Amino acid sequence: MNLLFAAWNPMIDNAFYVFMTLILIVVIFLIFRGILLWYWKINTIVNNQDKQTELLEKIVTLLENEKK
């Protein structure tokens, strides 16, 4: 058992902590991003803009057909 711990390199230990810290930062970012998007209603705004774009495309198509 001591051989296992004797082979443990402090550099690997530091890399592990850096890796876990990066993962934690990404998870926290994703959680807060979701909360901010919900709070500012960004998803709703984007969906409304998509609907407006579809309606405008239909209007343009109808206007082009009237010209012919």
* Cα–Cα distance list, 65 to 23, 56, 61, 62 (Å): 54, 14, 6, 5
Asked if pLDDT for residue 1 goes beyond 50, the answer is no
Note the pLDDT tens digit of each residue in 41-68: 998 999 999 999 999 999 999 999 998 7
Can you give 14-59 as a three-state secondary structure string? Answer: HHHHHHHHHHHHHHHHHHHHHHHHHHCCHHHHHHHHHHHHHHHHHH
Q: Identify which of 34, 31, 13 has the alpha carbon closest to the alpha carbon of residue 23.
A: 31
Coil vs helix vs strand at 7: coil
Q: Is the pTM of this model over 0.75?
A: no
